[in-house]
Structure 1
């Protein structure tokens, strides 16, 4: 068995036709759903890139691994999926984005060379890097990201000082003027880069090349796409494949703009929310967002055809997911952030080629799934020893086999908003700028430190337009959800160095050898089978 783990950056679950979208068709992603299981209620551990990915890559909640915001390093010593899989003889490789920030200070403190064999693995979140491209401006991040794509573009005749900026993220107007893809109003123009050389096409090719090069050693390839993450710019013909008339109705209510919750009030004042609240901006960016998804689907069709023709569909599990969604103007918001379903809920499709998964092909599961469930699933696939004292998720293997396991009653997502303007506007100390979502399949509760909680009833209000946290009529539901939050907080989150078997052995053994606590005489020691100190007689 091998695993091809496809992750897409900032892809909404409800912009895929296999999840019911009727404004866009994604036949290749739909095909994958027909081969395996579609998970309908999958949630990420944080609705922003870095913390979400660190939870995927460690199998641990954000509060556990500590990388709570973008660019917050994953601390040295935090176990990663790569370490667990290498112990089982599995090659764990990255092709694309990881958003990992290395704990350089921690490595220096411990005397670890960041460029040494161990340091490189720590620096790259446990991945053996085939290529890493985080979709970031290489001028702003010299020597870290984008070098491979830059060299690729140059090899195909493109020139300039910063090819990522000047080709992949520069648009061309009908008159030939070059315009910045960072400006939302330019999203309708085609990217300067030809479609066959876009980031999405390039990463697909590199993923295929990786798989072609593999021998007998089992492997997990993390093929991690950058788009449809901003800058919102698509190559021709994807830039004008859709128009404003193709967008689904925007999901927002005037009531949300006058919310009585201080956090929501300040959030909607941020520039990205103000601009995406404008119909003209949404009508410009939304179709391009759809075009980028369509480009992705076309490229995945090329990838899936290769897997079928090469016979790899027979020995490779395929996992498709995203790191979070995109608000695209819903709730008067842009970007991601907060815990609305358009942001925190993600697509998750898993194709398992083994006969044991035959009963569930083409099915859907409504189990409450968390991103951290993938790590224990992968360990099970490769026959690696489970790590329940480290990994906080649950293997999805039983669900893939059609079993009905005992499952969680709620899922959790977290957000550290200390670096966001609403924190200061509300005079919140940065240590208190944290949000925790508890979702039980119907009720979505958000703990807001120093403020009242947020509450949504997704059964009565699936569009999450009516916030109920300030209504005394729902005090009982809030108390129930607070109890779930408290139960989760009381769990062991950091007992990493003692697995269950070791703890049981210590319980059976009692005090360590040479330590005799509470014995009245030697006869009691002898009855327990303990060793009496040799230098005394009684």
Structure 2
């Protein structure tokens, strides 16, 4: 058995042709979708990068692993403690360990563990190729390593190759010589001049005026990644920059497929195409980031093609990314590990049967602290720390009528909010009962000063920019919501004046 896993960072499904996108961004990916099963309601349980990949590799929710953030205590997976044996559980229960249990060689081509000091991500791989640029790689830096691996190993049997590409991730990085094949294509219809003008009134990291998170700084190394959007031409720069990253990456994926074809193994190869998270491109007024627990950030592509897999099938059921481990175990004829939180959807792959969850709960604790409930046509978002976006505590969107989350219905549909809160509490009770810890790591993030990308020091700097750019109206509300950040600034100023007085 031969398996290729393509983990394509920040890839939105709705910017792929096979998911209905009007631009020709993904001809090579689209061909694989035609030959396999495509999932339309597939979500990471925990966003963004480190939490998502930790959940996939362990088969467990972030609330169980403890890995929900990008800094502080919650940027580490919990130690097993007294129950740890000579080898830890990941040795036998991780994503690559499942393939190892089938006697398969497991290979990783990725800089991700170094990017986030996510050393647990290495667990279970026989060999590791770090492409060396900590996630700032463009496809032309990754593909030569992959092609060399294919040349050396493709004709062998029983292997799994896991490859990371990064091109859709900010800063958008397709090389200048790639050009812009989309310069004459229309922009997304839903972002009208009127909608864009409403987005210009929003504040927060990665808003229209602050694409560099808290300011409009740019880098000459990444000309496709602007610092702000002053008009609809600026909007085009962002959308085209993202789509060029997707198409540039897809071209390189095509090179890999061609190499497998030349080795004569393409027809027997299982191919899995997915992502760690998506990318906000206007949802909630945010651009070029994956910083919320919403549809833009947490919905991801999943395409599976290979021997014994249904061809040309589209599944609309609700699934978590972490459901993939028990699904693979099912396909391999193995029992699922007791630690895994996922549920197998193998019947979708082998028989085309409808199989999905009643609801999903997805979390984000790196840029904001939010938990969301996805059920029926609804997305309910509960915000515990707004990441300085001034989000309402509760947001409710009807994704059938409002897929880009522009109209918060929480006040009009309290009945739906109550149903969502019931599901959220049911999930939380189950999570807390099924682990030996009494701490929800989301609250650890909040107690340690908030999400890593929304710290007091960031707000102190940001209010100056708000004043300078005519958005000072937001500062009183930011002070009301985040008083400790301003208290800390006052303490810092007192210390600074004291130091000057005593010549420290």
Matched, 1:413 2:362: yes
Distance 1:98 1:129, change over 3 A: farther
Task: Tell me, yes or no, if the aligned pair for 2:293 and 2:370 is still in contact at 8 Å.
Answer: no
Could you tell me which of 221, 224, 232 is aligned with 2:172? Answer: 232
Could you tell me which of 282, 289, 295 is aligned with 2:242? Answer: 289
Matched, 1:322 2:244: no
Distance 1:349 1:81, change over 3 A: same
Distance 1:448 1:342, change over 3 A: closer
Matched, 1:439 2:369: no
Could you tell me which of 210, 213, 217 is aligned with 1:271? Answer: 210
Task: Tell me, yes or no, if the aligned pair for 1:7 and 1:225 is still in contact at 8 Å.
Answer: yes
CA offsets, 1:347-401, max 9 Å, x none?
11110222xx3xx3112110112111222223334444321x2111222321011
Matched, 1:449 2:384: yes
- Measure the CA separation in 1 of the matches of 2:45 and 2:264: 35
SS in 2 for 1:324: coil
Aligned counterpart, 1:490: 429
Aligned counterpart, 2:401: 460
Aligned counterpart, 1:375: 325
SS in 2 for 1:449: strand
- Measure the CA separation in 2 of the matches of 1:458 and 1:246: 23
Matched, 1:402 2:351: yes
SS in 2 for 1:92: strand
- Measure the CA separation in 2 of the matches of 1:75 and 1:62: 10
- Measure the CA separation in 2 of the matches of 1:413 and 1:67: 14
SS in 2 for 1:412: strand
Could you tell me which of 412, 420, 431 is aligned with 1:481? Answer: 420
SS in 2 for 1:317: strand
Q: TM-score, normalised by structure 1?
A: 0.66
Task: Tell me, yes or no, if the aligned pair for 2:362 and 2:371 is still in contact at 8 Å.
Answer: yes
CA offsets, 1:170-193, max 9 Å, x none?
xxxxxxxxxxxxxxxxxxxxxxxx
- Measure the CA separation in 1 of the matches of 2:110 and 2:276: 13
Alignment of 1:23-422 (within 5 A): 23-71=23-71, 72-77=75-80, 79=90, 80-99=94-113, 101-102=116-117, 122=120, 124-133=122-131, 135-136=133-134, 199-214=138-153, 218-243=158-183, 245-249=185-189, 251=191, 253=195, 257=199, 266=204, 268=207, 271-272=210-211, 275-279=227-231, 280-334=233-287, 335-354=289-308, 357=309, 360-387=310-337, 389-404=338-353, 406-417=355-366, 420=367
SS in 1 for 2:301: strand
- Measure the CA separation in 2 of the matches of 1:276 and 1:374: 38
Aligned counterpart, 1:520: none
Task: Tell me, yes or no, if the aligned pair for 1:244 and 1:284 is still in contact at 8 Å.
Answer: no
- Measure the CA separation in 2 of the matches of 1:406 and 1:13: 20
Aligned counterpart, 2:448: none
SS in 2 for 1:233: coil
RMSD of aligned residue pairs (Cα, Å): 3.1
Cα distance, 1:25 vs structure 2 = 4.1
- Measure the CA separation in 2 of the matches of 1:270 and 1:67: 31
Q: TM-score, normalised by structure 2?
A: 0.70
CA offsets, 1:40-98, max 9 Å, x none?
11111233211111112111112111111125123344632233433342322211243
Unaligned 5+ runs, structure 1? 104-120, 138-163, 169-198, 421-432, 498-538
Task: Tell me, yes or no, if the aligned pair for 1:6 and 1:321 is still in contact at 8 Å.
Answer: yes
Cα distance, 1:297 vs structure 2 = 1.5
Alignment of 1:8-19 (within 5 A): 8-19=8-19
Task: Tell me, yes or no, if the aligned pair for 1:41 and 1:367 is still in contact at 8 Å.
Answer: yes
CA offsets, 1:273-314, max 9 Å, x none?
675553343322332322221111212222222223323234
SS in 2 for 1:466: coil
CA offsets, 1:404-432, max 9 Å, x none?
36531012210114xx5xxxxxxxxxxxx
Task: Tell me, yes or no, if the aligned pair for 2:318 and 2:357 is still in contact at 8 Å.
Answer: yes
Unaligned 5+ runs, structure 2? 81-88, 217-226, 386-391, 437-504
Task: Tell me, yes or no, if the aligned pair for 1:250 and 1:330 is still in contact at 8 Å.
Answer: no
- Measure the CA separation in 2 of the matches of 1:265 and 1:277: 13
- Measure the CA separation in 2 of the matches of 1:350 and 1:336: 24
- Measure the CA separation in 1 of the matches of 2:335 and 2:251: 37
SS in 2 for 1:448: strand
Which range moves more in the overlay, 314-323 or 72-81? 72-81
* Number of aligned residue pairs: 396
SS in 1 for 2:241: helix
Distance 1:25 1:255, change over 3 A: closer
SS in 1 for 2:279: coil
- Measure the CA separation in 2 of the matches of 1:444 and 1:242: 31
- Measure the CA separation in 2 of the matches of 1:437 and 1:270: 27
Larger gyration radius, structure 1 or structure 2: 1
SS in 1 for 2:11: coil
Cα distance, 1:452 vs structure 2 = 3.0
